[in-house]
Each structure stands twice: as structure tokens, then as C-alpha cells.
Amino acid sequence: MELKNKKVLITGADGFIGSHLVEALLYKGCSVKAFVFYNSFNSFGWLDSFPKSKLDNIEIFSGDVRDPNGVREAVKDVDIVFHLAALIGIPFSYHSPDSYVDTNIKGTLNILQASRDAGIEKVLVTSTSEVYGTAQYVPIDEKHPKQGQSPYSATKIGADAIAESFYKSFGLPVVIVRPFNAYGPRQSARAVIPTITTQLLSGRKKINLGSLYPTRDFNYVTDICNGFIALAECDNAIGREINIGSGVEISIGDVVDLLAELTGSKAEIVLEDVRKRPEKSEVERLVCDNGLIKQLTGWKPGISLKEGLTKTIRWFRDKENLKRYKQNIYNV
């Protein structure tokens, strides 16, 4: 499938990955409809930071994926749906698990049902590497068992299962896209790399963090977006769950050291219990087996961790960007 000239709907377009995917699909020659979360401030999230010339080429749809009526309106006259809207903060999922069920599971169901009714050509549902839990073997391929180690990951497991069921039950052309630890400009304040970077760039002598020993597979956001596009254009991806990741593993502690080196900062690390996950909920190790996406599409990561962090730091050094983040507050 060629994406050029297709009309695409992106849910979660106002968020981190979603806003970058909007840009990537515009560049690809798509007609983009951006589903943003309705709010009384009439904010379009990160899309508000786009220049007017770019924003004028985007159709904005304000709504809530939890509402099936609005979702049915959103998918009208659309060819392909990229479903990224979700609640993602793991600590907040301990606090408010009901809201995660409503948004992540029911919201996904609404997207799938509306897409089925509208005859959508392809639906890409965004999963997460968190569904795997702590690695039972590495690298983690798509056959790895799922483990609900947080309410967040449990709801994403549920959403993935519903997406699979719509493919198997109704023949809806679904692809389950499973990114490993995206990072880059515009990332949520509660994620680890913005947490570290904003504290270092604010000149603090002490930075507050949680556990340093877990390992992750970090991927620059444009690589993730390129993976989404490659899978959207691959008909052999339909009905499958597919990892996007680099296959490179690094501990949080080593990321701290690398960011300190790249920012030229020196700061004492203070470990705070409030920032740590409950013992059985901590996902200790994640590293991707990306063999399937390479086999199906030829995709491979294009930006190394050091290069990606350098780009991210450069973005955060802009005072207009940095002031959007409250580095003195623990973001759940």
C-alpha cells in the first residue's frame, strides 16, 4: 500500500509520538486529520507549536476516544487510522486504573468498531514494550509472554487482544505496532529522559531519580515514526503484532552518565522511593528483537542513541521548550 495521497486519521496527534507522526505523514504526501483531546482551552497540544503554514495543512478534530459517537464522526472519509491516543504514565495508572481501562481498552474498542463500520483500509493500533514485562529471555521477540506488571501494561495487553480479535473475528485489517521506549523532542515530562535532561539543564546540583538498574531499548522518535509508516505500507503486516526497536540495551544509570557528559553537567543523583515502582511492578529489562519488522519492511533504526540524545538536548536548550516542563515537580 502506498500512503501518498491517502487520507489518514491520527489519534493522539496532540501528543509526543503523534505530533511527530503528523509531520512525517504530511511529508509523505498524506492528507492528515489530527484527532486531538477536547479541552476547554482549545489547545491542540504539541500541534500548537507548529508554524501556521504547517498547521493550515492539517484537519483538526477535537474529541475523546472514550466516546463512540465522536469516534464514528472522526473516521468518516478516512482511508487509514493510526491509533496512538492512550493514557501512558505508569505511576498514574496505580492511582487511577479505571481511567486507563476507559481510555486504553474502551477507546481502542471504539476505534476498531468505528473503523469496521466505516470500511477503513487499515488500522494501526499502538502497543508498548511494557506488555512484555521483565524480559524472560533476550532479545524479546513477538512470541514473548505478556505480563501485566502495572495497570497501564494490563490495559495495553487488553487493547492489543481486542485489536487481534477484530482481525480474527471480522477481518478488520489491523496491525499491532509495538514500539520500545521512544524518546526525543516533545516527550512527556513523566518519561525518564526528559526527567533527567530538564533537571541537568536547569543547573541543579542534585537530580532526583528512581531506580537506575533497569535496562531499556531507547529509540529516537523519528525512527519510531518511520517504523509506523513502513508497517502501514506493508500488507504482510496485517493481523500481526510487530516490534519496533534498536536491539541496543542500556541501563538508566548509564543514560544518566551519557546525558551528563553531553550536557557538560555535573550533579549528584538522589534516589527517591516515591519515584520507584513497587518491587513486583518494576520492569527490569527490555531489549527488542527487531527481526520481524526488518524482514517484512527492511526498516532499521537510523539514529544512534548518542546522536538522538544530542538532538533532544538541543531542543531542550531552547528556553521556550524548557519552560513547558516543571523540573522541580515529580510528574506522575
* Banded model confidence at residue 190, pLDDT cuts 50, 70, 90: confident
Looking at residue 205, what is its pLDDT?
Answer: 85
d(C-alpha 66, C-alpha 82), whole Å: 16
Looking at residue 317, what is its pLDDT?
Answer: 96
CATH number belonging to the domain at 192-214+249-286+304-322, selected among 3.90.25.10, 3.80.10.10, 3.40.50.1260, 3.40.50.720: 3.90.25.10
Query: What count of other Cβ atoms lies within 10 Å of the Cβ of residue 239?
Result: 15
Looking at residue 129, what is its pLDDT?
Answer: 98
CB 77 within 8 Å of CB 7: yes
* Banded model confidence at residue 194, pLDDT cuts 50, 70, 90: very high
Please give the share of the chain, as a percent, with pLDDT higher than 90.
Answer: 92
**Does 162 score more than 90 pLDDT?**
yes
101, 145, 300 from 294: Cα distances, Å: 32, 21, 6
Q: What is the DSSP string of 101-153?
A: IIIIIIHHHHHHHHHHHHT-SEEEEE--GGGG-S-SSSSB-TTSPP---SHHH
Return mean pLDDT, the chain: 96
Query: Once rounded to an integer, what is the mean pLDDT over residues 308-323?
Result: 96
**Does 307 score more than 90 pLDDT?**
yes
Please give the share of the chain, as a percent, with pLDDT higher than 70.
Answer: 99
* Banded model confidence at residue 203, pLDDT cuts 50, 70, 90: confident
d(C-alpha 93, C-alpha 70), whole Å: 25
* Banded model confidence at residue 189, pLDDT cuts 50, 70, 90: confident
**Does 327 score more than 80 pLDDT?**
no
Query: Once rounded to an integer, what is the mean pLDDT over residues 246-264?
Result: 96
Looking at residue 34, what is its pLDDT?
Answer: 98
Looking at residue 330, what is its pLDDT?
Answer: 76
**Domain ranges for the chain:** 7-184+218-244, 192-214+249-286+304-322
Query: Once rounded to an integer, what is the mean pLDDT over residues 244-257?
Result: 97
pLDDT tens-digit series, residues 55-99: 999 999 999 999 999 999 999 999 999 999 999 999 999 999 999
Contact partners, residue 309, CB within 8 Å, separation at least 6:
183, 193, 258, 259, 262
**Does 204 score more than 90 pLDDT?**
no
Q: Does domain 7-184+218-244 have CATH number 3.40.250.10?
A: no
Looking at residue 267, what is its pLDDT?
Answer: 86
Residue 163: name the closest of 130, 118, 127, 119 by CA. Answer: 127
Query: Once rounded to an integer, what is the mean pLDDT over residues 266-271?
Result: 89
**Does 179 score more than 80 pLDDT?**
yes
